[in-house]
């Protein structure tokens, strides 16, 4: 049986985020041995380019799952996103200077899509390793939610069901500080654990 393939993406820095941990995590894990083949990419914080970059990679590599990462600076735990919402509504522009507020991502499309990642199993795995983890019902309304919704819509539009979803990581910081944050090493450990869970999920489903 061929090795399962997961497409994993992070984002470049933006706004006041001078170091994006999602980028650091993806670049680190791309160099590690894994139970699956990882196809990785760092996305531009750009409404016109980010989702299309993922779509191009999907069409080129035909992954069995898509795991998208981004940073939420004000959070203090790994957050497993449940729902992608059909709205762009940001307080800051993207890195190309475009500010979008109160506009649907896809016209005449559903208001939301559920994550199809095995997030309950991921939650359990992170809890067992003592890593702070929470579920989230809102991925924001900036580029993270934009790509989450766009890619879920891409698959729904093609009647394709593969595990697809989004995970937010905190900013990089010392857990003893007042501001939210998590050491990068622990974030890497967390996302590796999520990949391991996803690999086991794919092994079970692809054998059926």
Q: What is the pLDDT of residues 26-65, one digit of tens each?
A: 999 999 988 899 999 999 999 999 999 999 999 999 999 9
| Boundaries of domain holding 128 | 5-207
Contacts of 79 by beta carbon, 8 Å cutoff, 6+ apart: 72, 133, 134, 135, 136, 167, 168, 169
Q: State mean pLDDT over 12-32.
A: 95
194 is annotated as an active-site residue: no
Q: What is the pLDDT of residues 153-184, one digit of tens each?
A: 999 999 998 999 999 999 998 655 566 789 99
Average pLDDT over residues 84-97: 96
How confident is the model over 109-162, as pLDDT tens digits? 999 999 999 999 999 999 999 999 999 999 999 999 999 999 999 999 999 989
| 208 confidence band (pLDDT: 50, 70, 90) | very low
Kindly tell me if the per-residue pLDDT of 191 is higher than 90: yes
144, 153, 194, 201: the catalytic one is 144
Section 69-89 average pLDDT = 96
Indicate the number of domains in the chain: 1
Pair of tokens at residue 147? 């790509």
CB atoms within 10 A of CB 185: 10
Q: Contact at 8 Å (CB) between 88 and 100?
A: yes
Q: What is the CATH number of the domain that holds 193?
A: 3.40.630.20
Options 146, 168, 194, 201, the catalytic residue: 168
Return the ∠ at Cα 83 (arms to 80 and 84), rounded to 5°: 115
Q: For residue 138, count other CB atoms closer than 10 A to its CB.
A: 13
Say what the pTM is.
0.94
> Whole-angstrom Cα distance, residue 70 to residue 52?
17
The reply to whether 120 belongs to the active site is: no
144 catalytic per annotation:
yes
């Amino acid at each position: 049986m061929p090795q399962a393939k997961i497409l994993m993406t992070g984002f470049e820095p933006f706004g006041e985020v001078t170091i994006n941990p999602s980028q650091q995590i993806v670049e680190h894990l791309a160099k590690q041995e894994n139970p699956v083949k990882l196809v990785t990419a760092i996305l531009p914080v750009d409404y016109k380019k980010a989702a299309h970059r993922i779509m191009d990679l999907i069409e080129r590599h035909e992954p069995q799952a898509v795991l998208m990462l981004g940073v939420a600076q004000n959070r203090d735990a790994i957050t497993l996103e449940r729902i992608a919402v059909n709205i762009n509504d940001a307080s800051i522009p993207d890195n190309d200077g475009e500010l979008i507020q109160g506009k649907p991502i896809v016209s005449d499309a559903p208001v939301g899509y559920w994550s199809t990642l095995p997030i309950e199993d991921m939650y359990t795995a992170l809890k067992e390793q003592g890593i702070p983890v929470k579920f989230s019902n809102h991925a924001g309304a900036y580029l993270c939610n934009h790509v989450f919704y766009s890619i879920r819509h891409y698959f729904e539009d093609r009647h394709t069901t593969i595990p697809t979803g989004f995970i937010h990581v905190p900013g990089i910081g010392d857990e003893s500080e007042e501001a939210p944050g998590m050491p990068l090493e622990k974030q890497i450990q967390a996302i590796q654990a999520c990949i391991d869970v996803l690999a086991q999920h794919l092994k079970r489903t692809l054998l059926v």
